[in-house]
């Protein structure tokens, strides 16, 4: 199904509350391209899941051509960590990113699923971002359909360890294990505020899913609902975890996988193992911020896929020095979303507030606050 063009509604003078209706109309136009049946019948995905070891979770990472530099940066970061590249499955949404990865990293396993509506830049809150939510939910369903466990990961993250070393079996009854947006509440982490332009990063945070009946039911419900309901997947996933009873959701320690709030320091005082560099709304701001504070691992020049090994090695020594330097490196968008997170944490500090958050604010009001 062909993607139909839509200019920025704000620039056309269209009232912003109309945005949700326009977004869901775009999803309706393109939903077949990201449908569950199409994904489970994709030969590239079928080949990939056949290579996934039943006792070893795959690392699933999604990109289009606008996320190549950020993806190359992550690949350089993790190149020397044993087992990461061997268990990584890179999902490419267009032919350009597929070809670029095959040229620069030919040994990587790749799942090529061309989705015309997801090949171009898009803004948080518009229809193509919402379409990505649906794609990601159905991708999770497709992998679980073949009874494989996996980590959904993001490339805007510094890895100081191997995620596969985390013991996901210590909580035997947990179906899905999520990272967190803060250390005070259960909100699932997500890219709730990013402008998707030069360096594309997508929705949600990190999570580990086991191929249980409960997790399959959970993602089926998620995909069904966001195919017609205008809501960000991290907020809706939190609500499903807290009120639906479909699956038992676990939470990773915030000190293990953290986000931009690591700049204020961690509760343990120990640098986190995984740092997501989210929180930037400026064009190209995320990778620029990583460069500024020492987490940029590519060489400058024409070949942007070449690794700067010295930069990778230096991160371990600079990590401690960056902790608690919030005022020096935090942008205005970091401070703005810290305020939002503090409000969410305040709601979750009481039983009534948590109920209001889980039953009403997350599934109904989150996007309204952004689009009004």
For the residues 351-367, what does the mean pLDDT come to? 79
Q: Provide the Cα torsion 297, 300, 305, 311; round to 10°.
A: -20
- Predicted confidence at residue 217, as pLDDT, reads 97
Comparing 29 with 172, the larger pLDDT belongs to 29
Chain-centroid distance, C-alpha 73: 16
Q: Which tokens is 302 given?
A: 């024409």
Structure confidence at residue 339 (pLDDT):
73
pLDDT over threshold 50, residue 159: yes
Please determine, for residue 279, whether its predicted confidence score (pLDDT) is greater than 70. Answer: no
Average pLDDT over residues 265-284: 67
Burial class of residue 172 (count of CB atoms within 10 Å of its CB; 0-12, 13-18, 19+): exposed
pLDDT value at residue 91: 97
End-to-end CA distance of the chain: 30
Question: Is residue 106 within 8 Å of residue 92, measured between CB atoms?
Answer: no
Q: How far apart are CA 143 and CA 209, in angstroms?
A: 10
The CA-based angle 211-217-223, given to 5 degrees, is: 105
Measured over the CA atoms of residue 101, residue 103, residue 107 and residue 110, the dihedral's sign is: positive
Other CB atoms within a 10 A radius of the CB of residue 240 amount to 24
Per-residue tokens: 209:
């899913």
pLDDT of amino acid 202: 43
Percentage above 70 pLDDT, the chain: 75
User: Which value, in Å, is the radius of gyration of the alpha carbons in the chain?
Assistant: 19
- pLDDT in the model for residue 264: 62
Instruction: Tell which phi-psi region holds residue 85, choosing left (phi > 0), alpha (psi between -120 and 50) or beta.
Output: alpha
As a whole number, mean pLDDT of residues 241-261 equals 85
| Per-residue pLDDT at 163 exceeds 80 | yes
Residue 224: CB partners within 8 Å, gap ≥ 6? none
Predicted local distance difference test score (pLDDT) of residue 367 = 62
Buried b / exposed e over 296-328, threshold 16 CB at 10 Å, is bbbbeeeeebebeeebbeebeeebeebbeebee
Q: What is the pTM of this model?
A: 0.87
Rounded distance, CA 3 to CA 103, Å? 28
* Structural element, H or E, at residue 195: strand 195-196
Region 196-219 average pLDDT: 74
- Cα(247)–Cα(240) distance, rounded to whole angstroms? 8
Question: What integer pLDDT is reported at residue 59 of this predicted model?
Answer: 97
Map tokens 């949404």 to a residue.
Answer: 93
Q: Are 296 and 311 in contact (CB under 8 A)?
A: yes
Structure tokens at 223: 């995909």
CB atoms within 10 A of CB 29: 17
**Average pLDDT of the segment spanning 74-86:** 95
Helix (H) or strand (E) segment spanning residue 58: strand 58-63
Domain 20-258+333-370 class in CATH: alpha beta
Lowest-confidence segment of 51-55, 58-62, 91-95 by average pLDDT: 51-55
Phi, psi values for residue 218, rounded to 5°:
-60, -50
277 contacts 290 by C-beta, under 8 angstroms: yes
Split at pLDDT 50, 70, 90, the class of 184 is low
pLDDT score for 96: 95
What distance in Å separates the CA atoms of residue 195 and residue 62, rounded to the nearest whole number? 17
Least trusted range by pLDDT, from 46-50, 175-179, 288-292: 288-292
| Stretch among 89-103, 280-294, 340-354 having the lowest mean pLDDT | 280-294
What's the whole-number mean pLDDT along residues 244-248? 92
Torsional class of 147: left (φ above 0), alpha (ψ -120 to 50), beta (otherwise): left
Helix (H) or strand (E) holding 176: strand 176-178
Average pLDDT, the chain: 81
Token representation of residue 304: 């942007």
Burial call 80-97: b when 16+ CB within 10 Å, e when fewer: eeeebbebbbbbbbbeeb
For the stretch 14-28, pLDDT in tens is: 445 687 888 889 999
Distance of CA 186 to the CA centre of its chain: 17
Q: What pLDDT is attached to residue 124?
A: 72
The CB-side HSE value for 105 (13 A sphere, CA atoms) comes to 25
Give the pLDDT confidence score for residue 281 in this predicted structure.
Answer: 52
Q: How many residues does the chain have?
A: 372
């Amino acid at each position: 199904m062909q993607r139909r063009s839509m200019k920025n509604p704000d620039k056309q003078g269209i009232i912003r509350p109309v945005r949700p209706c326009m977004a869901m109309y775009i999803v309706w136009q393109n939903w077949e391209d990201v449908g569950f049946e199409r994904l489970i019948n994709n030969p590239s995905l079928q080949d990939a899941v056949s290579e996934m070891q039943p006792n070893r979770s795959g690392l699933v990472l999604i990109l289009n051509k606008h996320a190549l530099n950020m993806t190359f940066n992550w690949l350089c970061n993790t190149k020397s960590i044993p087992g990461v590249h061997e268990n990584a499955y890179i999902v490419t949404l267009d032919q350009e990113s597929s070809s670029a990865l095959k040229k620069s990293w030919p040994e990587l396993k790749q799942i090529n699923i061309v989705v015309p509506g997801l090949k171009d830049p898009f803004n948080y809150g518009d229809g193509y971002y919402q379409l990505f939510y649906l794609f990601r939910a159905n991708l999770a369903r497709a992998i679980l359909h073949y009874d494989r466990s996996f980590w959904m990961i993001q490339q805007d993250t510094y890895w100081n360890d191997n995620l596969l070393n985390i013991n996901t079996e210590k909580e035997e009854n947990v179906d899905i294990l999520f990272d967190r947006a803060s250390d005070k509440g259960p909100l699932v982490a997500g890219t709730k505020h990013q402008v998707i332009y030069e360096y594309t990063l997508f929705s949600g945070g990190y999570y580990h899913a086991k191929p249980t009946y409960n997790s399959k039911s959970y993602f089926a419900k998620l995909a069904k609902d966001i195919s017609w309901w205008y809501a960000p997947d991290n907020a809706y996933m939190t609500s499903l975890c807290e009120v639906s009873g479909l699956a038992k959701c676990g939470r990773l320690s915030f000190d293990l996988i953290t986000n931009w709030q690591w700049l204020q320091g961690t509760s343990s005082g120990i640098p986190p193992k995984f740092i997501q560099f989210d929180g930037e709304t400026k064009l190209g701001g995320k990778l620029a911020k990583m460069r500024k504070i020492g987490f940029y691992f590519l060489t400058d020049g024409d070949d942007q896929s070449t690794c700067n090994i010295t930069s990778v090695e230096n991160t371990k020594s600079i990590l401690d020095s960056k902790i608690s330097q919030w005022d020096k490196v935090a942008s205005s968008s970091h401070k703005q979303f810290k305020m939002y997170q503090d409000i969410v944490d305040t709601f979750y500090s009481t039983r009534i507030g948590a109920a209001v958050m889980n039953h009403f604010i997350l599934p109904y009001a989150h996007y309204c606050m952004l689009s009004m």
